[in-house]
Amino acid sequence: MRILVVGGGGREHAVIRKLKDNPCVTELYALPGNGGIAADATCVPIGAKDIDGIVAFAQDKKIDYAVVTPDDPLVLGCVDALEAVGVPCFGPQKKAAIIEGSKVFAKDLMKRYGIPTARYETFTCLDEALRYLETAPLPTVLKADGLALGKGVIIAQTRAEAIQAARDMMEGKRFGDAGSKIVIEEFLEGPEVSVLAFTDGNVVVPMVSSMDHKRAHDGDQGLNTGGMGTVAPNPCYTPAVAERCMREIFLPTIAAMNAEGRTFRGCLYFGLMVTKDGPKVIEYNCRFGDPETQVVLPLLDSDLLTIMQAVTEGRLADTEVRFRDESACCVVLASNGYPEKYEKGFLLEIPETVRSHVYIAGAKQADGKLVTDGGRVCGCVGTGETLEDAIRAAYDVAAQVRFENAYCRKDIGQRALRGV
């Protein structure tokens, strides 16, 4: 089978490694992939947002199946365009990807169908937003409506901060057009849990739960990033919470999307907060999380391609999805200064002995050598019988990967060990 994966980060590297386990896969292409993914797939320099380029490539190479992983191409309708030329895909169509593409859509959906989430108001006019903020409870959370590289959320502790954030988003275009509409919502408290779930629109099959570490520095200090590390499973996701999530959130969401004529097929990411009033949705993503995927897929015992095809064909109920009863930890090595200013182009050295435990996010080939090429450079993954074992294994791998300006958080998994 000839398979195409759209995207080029650590998440895509994890997906590609897992797809390779299936002996039916004869050719594997990554568009655009990256210098590290090149060891596992043929990388072709076609950008993930170049829908016409992706479709032309798929036709030219007679691709049998495509996996579209990043948010941008999904929201732009990459799956629709590939399906229109007869290429079956893993990933939601445009009309379903809106669940991530528009926060206003997602919030209104939850309100209409009674799915627990933070209370909110939507604004398209700055003056109205400012008037609302005069009396809004603090802290308050401001979110740009559209995609903003996962950075369109501001938690304002003071009224002045909230006003500044609203101005930046709506007037200063801090997040481009994504901020022309904003959501202002209630600040929720409690541990966060990420749950990725396969769904074909009929059934929903949650994968092992995970915990992201979004802040740049130890102790959850510093700026929000794309994610500095993950662990799975998440100890806050107890069987009782899982049961409530299935009943109050997962099944109602699938039913709501069906009722709206927007059946979701693919991987639906539930960003949850376990509050004292029960689990609530912080956000939906229409795709695998990054770096959640790097801890979830290594624990998957069943064949990924088989599951993905079952999702596409609406046969998920009859397909085995089994996870190993172990733990995993991913420690992200980033370029010093990320998520703001950082240098790149440094030699990236990964010993052969740990190569299979490293997923490359930001690197390219230069003169036959691998050099850093992004803020998040790679994810170092360890698995083990216990969370402690997994954390130790991941940091062991990280210690062996070298580049000049590397930094990582030293406390990935510590909150999970404390159970909060």
Contact between 283 and ligand AMP (CB under 6 A)? yes
Cβ proximity of 96 and 102 under 8 Å: no
Choose the binding region for ligand AMP from 37-45, 185-193, 236-244, 260-268 (rule: CB under 6 A): 185-193
In this complex, which beta carbon is closest to ligand GLY, that of residue 104 or of residue 296? Answer: 296
Exactly one of 16, 96, 118, 196 binds ligand AMP (CB under 6 A); that residue is: 118
Exactly one of 185, 290, 326, 373 binds ligand GLY (CB under 6 A); that residue is: 290
In this complex, which beta carbon is closest to ligand GLY, that of residue 130 or of residue 155? Answer: 155
Contact between 153 and ligand AMP (CB under 6 A)? yes
Minimum distance, C-beta of residue 273 to ligand AMP, in the bound complex (Å)? 7
Minimum distance, C-beta of residue 285 to ligand GLY, in the bound complex (Å)? 5
Choose the binding region for ligand AMP from 149-157, 246-254, 351-359, 407-415 (rule: CB under 6 A): 149-157
Host H or E run for residue 170: helix 159-170
| Residue partners of 88: CB distance under 8 A and separation at least 6 | 64, 65, 66, 309, 312, 313
Query: What is the token pair recorded at 420?
Result: 């909060």
CA distance to 17, 354, 360, per residue, from 228 (Å): 21, 19, 14
In this complex, which beta carbon is closest to ligand GLY, that of residue 201 or of residue 289? Answer: 289
In this complex, which beta carbon is closest to ligand AMP, that of residue 155 or of residue 163? Answer: 155
Exactly one of 64, 192, 389, 411 binds ligand AMP (CB under 6 A); that residue is: 192
Minimum distance, C-beta of residue 34 to ligand GLY, in the bound complex (Å)? 17
Sign of the C-alpha dihedral computed for residues 194, 299, 311 and 72 taken in this order: positive
* Nearest residue relative to ligand GLY (C-beta): 289
Choose the binding region for ligand GLY from 114-122, 256-264, 288-296, 345-353 (rule: CB under 6 A): 288-296
Contact between 150 and ligand GLY (CB under 6 A)? yes
Contact between 190 and ligand GLY (CB under 6 A)? no
Exactly one of 40, 185, 200, 290 binds ligand AMP (CB under 6 A); that residue is: 185
Nearest to 6 by CA among 86, 80, 71, 99: 71
Go through 362-378 and write b for each residue having 16 or more CB atoms within 10 A of its CB, e for each that does not: bbbeeeeebbbbbbbbb
Cβ proximity of 182 and 122 under 8 Å: yes
Our CA angle for 303, 416, 223, nearest 5°, is 100
Host H or E run for residue 129: helix 126-133
Q: Which does 132 bind (CB under 5 to 8 A by kind): ligand AMP, ligand GLY, none?
A: none
Contact between 72 and ligand GLY (CB under 6 A)? no
Exactly one of 8, 227, 229, 374 binds ligand GLY (CB under 6 A); that residue is: 227
- For residue 24, count other CB atoms closer than 10 A to its CB: 12
CA distance to 34, 206, 210, 244, 375, per residue, from 252 (Å): 38, 14, 21, 11, 37
Exactly one of 69, 93, 140, 285 binds ligand GLY (CB under 6 A); that residue is: 285
Residue ranges in 370-409 that form contacts with ligand GLY under rule CB under 6 A: none
Q: Which does 289 bind (CB under 5 to 8 A by kind): ligand AMP, ligand GLY, none?
A: ligand GLY
Contact between 214 and ligand AMP (CB under 6 A)? yes
Contact between 141 and ligand AMP (CB under 6 A)? yes
Cβ proximity of 73 and 54 under 8 Å: yes
Minimum distance, C-beta of residue 238 to ligand GLY, in the bound complex (Å)? 22
In this complex, which beta carbon is closest to ligand GLY, that of residue 63 or of residue 361? Answer: 361
Dihedral (Cα; 226, 73, 102, 217), 10-degree rounding: 0
CA distance to 13, 130, 194, 353, per residue, from 17 (Å): 6, 48, 22, 16
Contact between 282 and ligand AMP (CB under 6 A)? yes
Residue 392 falls in which region: left (phi positive, over 0), alpha (psi -120 to 50) or beta: alpha
Query: What is the token pair recorded at 149?
Result: 């590289």
Contact between 289 and ligand GLY (CB under 6 A)? yes
Residue type for 62, please?
A: K
208/194 Cα distance (integer angstroms): 9
φ/ψ of residue 188, rounded to 5: -105, 150
Contact between 346 and ligand AMP (CB under 6 A)? no
Give the residues lining the site for ligand AMP (CB under 6 A). 118, 141, 150, 153, 155, 185-188, 192, 214, 271, 282-283
Give the residues lining the site for ligand GLY (CB under 6 A). 150, 212, 227, 285, 289-290, 292
